[in-house]
Chains A and B, each alone.
Chain A
Amino acid sequence: DGGITQSPKYLFRKEGQNVTLSCEQNLNHDAMYWYRQDPGQGLRLIYYSQIVNDFQKGDIAEGYSVSREKKESFPLTVTSAQKNPTAFYLCASRSTRQGVNTEAFFGQGTRLTVV
């Protein structure tokens, strides 16, 4: 079955630690995204990538880093510079070959908590 897989589902981080969230897709999508969602809020874009070896900052990139070495994979690192990392993190992918009206598909999310 095609889809997007995020891991882990739950992650606990100590203050000052870097942690990496995994996102893998087998939909052959070019574009991949990382969003952050806080309670009662919409999705805010952290980083996105249109193609392998290229990525762009979103609206709230500070304290985060990404890589796109393979089309299928777009891991997100939450660094110690991110002062308030507790949130629900969602990875998405999207085909960009069929015009503008293409939906984004999501992984099941990673719930990160700082302890």
Chain B
Amino acid sequence: RKEVEQDPGPFNVPEGATVAFNCTYSNSASQSFFWYRQDCRKEPKLLMSVYSSGNEDGRFTAQLNRASQYISLLIRDSKLSDSATYLCVVNRVGSNYQLIWGAGTKLIIKP
């Protein structure tokens, strides 16, 4: 089993819709979780950190489910500019320094 797994998609979603995707992680002791956004041929940029209590930033909501070992990202009222690949990131247990990256979920918002 991979340490971090994501559905590669693509998710094709009409503009204005709500879309959600999950990311599963294998080590229950993981402590740090992030969602990054990567545009085509660009570097990843932080979208949001994921906290135990869940967190929201505008149209984006991230949640952590420790019992089932997954994090989720919900995007409401999707915009064309939300089209990108969304990368899930988890710290490697035993190391504050190493991050493990999922392969990403590709999201395409259609007009």
Contacts and interface: CB of A to CB of B under 8 A. Distances in A.
Contacts, number: 51
Contacts of B44: 43, 90, 106
Interface residues of A, number: 25
Contacts of A108: 42-43
The size class of the interface chain B forms with chain A is 20 to 34
A51 to B, nearest CB: 10
A45 B34 CA distance: 17
B9 to A, nearest CB: 11
B101 A43 contact: yes
Interface stretch (B12-20, B67-75, B76-84, B91-99): B91-99
Interface in A44-61: 44-45, 48, 50, 58
A48 B8 contact: no
A56 to B, nearest CB: 8
A30 to B, nearest CB: 9
Contact of A48 (B41, B45, B98, B103): B98
B31 A109 contact: no
B32 A100 contact: yes
Contacts of B51: 101
A40 B34 CA distance: 19
Given A106-B44, A108-B42, A45 B98 contact: yes
A31 B101 contact: no
B8 A103 contact: no
Contact of A106 (B4, B32, B45, B98): B45
Q: Which 4 A-B pairs have the closest CB atoms?
A: A106-B43, A42-B103, A43-B101, A42-B101
21 contacts: A31-B97, A35-B101, A40-B8, A41-B103, A42-B102, A43-B87, A44-B101, A50-B97, A58-B98, A94-B97, A100-B32, A101-B31, A101-B32, A101-B49, A101-B51, A103-B34, A104-B99, A107-B43, A108-B43, A109-B42, A109-B43
Interface of B: 4, 8, 31-32, 34, 41-46, 49, 51, 87, 89, 91, 96-99, 101-104
